[in-house]
Structure 1
Amino acid sequence: MENLRIPTLENERIRLSPINLENYKQLLEIAQEDKLVQFSPSKIDTPEDLQSYVQNALDSFQQKTAIPFIIFDKKENAYAGCTRFGHINWHNKVLHIGWTWIGKRFQGTGLNKNMKFLMLEYAFETLQFDKVEFRVDERNITSRKAVEKIGGTLEGILRKDTLMLDGFKRSTCCYGILKEEWPSLKQQILA
């Protein structure tokens, strides 16, 4: 952890590499897509907002509480969005996977499943963490189903815990995957 760096995670379909204040510009067009982050409290739809979003992720990386990535879809030969490990608790060996958004044309193509697989594999097998958590807006049925499909267990709902940009107070579904669940989930995902 002392010399924390952002790794590059990849397979035949996807490459997750360090996001920075240069390459994030590849995401400017995607970030402006309508309702891309409607279930997120983050604003990314202007160049300034997106830069601030990335800077926040990089600041969290410097504090060793996040590892942010830019997503490259090898099949489409295009940048698709971003994601990160966050709320990293090195002592308790728990982290979150989230802050994920991908362009509409990449949704439903298997890209997200490949990304989550690489991130889970890294969290459990390289970092040796004990638990990975996901926080999802209760209204975001698509994301909830995606987390459940890769084996996330709903552990509870935090009621009205996050203030959204439009003033709505959302409730957040908390999902988790434990290290001891990973080997069988890995086989299911690979199958």
Structure 2
Amino acid sequence: MIVLENNYVRLEPLSLENYTHLLEIAQEKDLIAYSPSDISSPDKLLDYVKLALGGVDHKTTLPFIIYDKRKAQYAGSTRFGLIHWKNKVLHIGWTWIGHAFQGTGLNTHMKFLMLQYAFEILEFEKVEFRIDERNQKSRKAVEKLGATLEGILRKDTLMNDGFRRSTCCYGILKNEWPDIKTTIFKGF
């Protein structure tokens, strides 16, 4: 069981035992408006968690529940996904945190822990992020982390409302991590 933490955040493995801490947050309006997932009811959140956990046995996902140590509250969920062990590439995403936790630096602290784990412990070669082209807030956040826009997959994902979104593909390479760590995450 992997737990990633610093003075601000703890990322614990998401499970059928702890996901209920997220029931209230998952009900927040427009929390995952740019995601093809649906967590809008307790049953849909449970399905979301079961899907995330389904990849754990195949070692293709590693989902986390996010605990904000400063506020002493659970804040949301994130995961490593599409883990490709041979190519040493994984995605960080499926991230959602409650509105009260947005803009507090929590996301930056958890992304630091995840990037550090991917590059320094797993020794992966690349971390990717996939974001709805319309989601300017998330795109700017990933760009602030030092990720490079590598391209846009046009109309590649069907959303719940029938809209076909285009997906921005961002990446950070292992050889870029030392500079990103010392400039973007200075003092972490």
Normalising by the smaller structure, the TM-score range is over 0.9
The Cα of 1:69 is off from its aligned counterpart by: 0.3
Is 1:172–2:167 an aligned residue pair?
A: yes
Q: Which of residues 37, 44, 50 is equivalent to 2:32?
A: 37
Alignment-derived partner of residue 58 in structure 1: 53
Gaps of 5+ in 1: 1-5
Is 1:140–2:139 an aligned residue pair?
A: no
Cα RMSD over matched residues?
0.6
Alignment-derived partner of residue 95 in structure 2: 100
The Cα of 1:22 is off from its aligned counterpart by: 1.4
Alignment-derived partner of residue 130 in structure 1: 125
Is 1:158–2:153 an aligned residue pair?
A: yes
Would you say the 8 A contact 1:117–1:189 is kept in 2?
A: no
Is 1:12–2:7 an aligned residue pair?
A: yes
Gaps of 5+ in 2: none
Aligned partner of residue 37 in structure 2, secondary structure = coil
Percent identity between matched residues is 66
CA distance in 2, matches of 1:188, 1:44: 36
List per-residue Cα deviations over 1:123-147 (Å, max 9, x = no partner).
0000000000000000000000000
CA distance in 1, matches of 2:86, 2:185: 30
CA distance in 2, matches of 1:36, 1:26: 16
The TM-score with structure 1 as length reference comes to 0.96
Alignment-derived partner of residue 46 in structure 1: 41
Look up the equivalent residue of 2:157 and give its one-letter code. Answer: T
The Cα of 1:182 is off from its aligned counterpart by: 0.1
CA distance in 2, matches of 1:47, 1:170: 26
List per-residue Cα deviations over 1:141-185 (Å, max 9, x = no partner).
000000000000000000000000000000000000000000010
CA distance in 1, matches of 2:76, 2:184: 22
Would you say the 8 A contact 1:61–1:67 is kept in 2?
A: yes
Q: Which consecutive aligned stretches of 4+ in structure 1 deviate over 4 angstroms post-superposition?
A: none
Number of positions where the alignment pairs a residue of Structure 1 with one of Structure 2: 186
Correspondence list, 1:16-27, <5 A: 16-27=11-22
Alignment-derived partner of residue 88 in structure 1: 83
List per-residue Cα deviations over 1:56-85 (Å, max 9, x = no partner).
111111111001000000000000000000
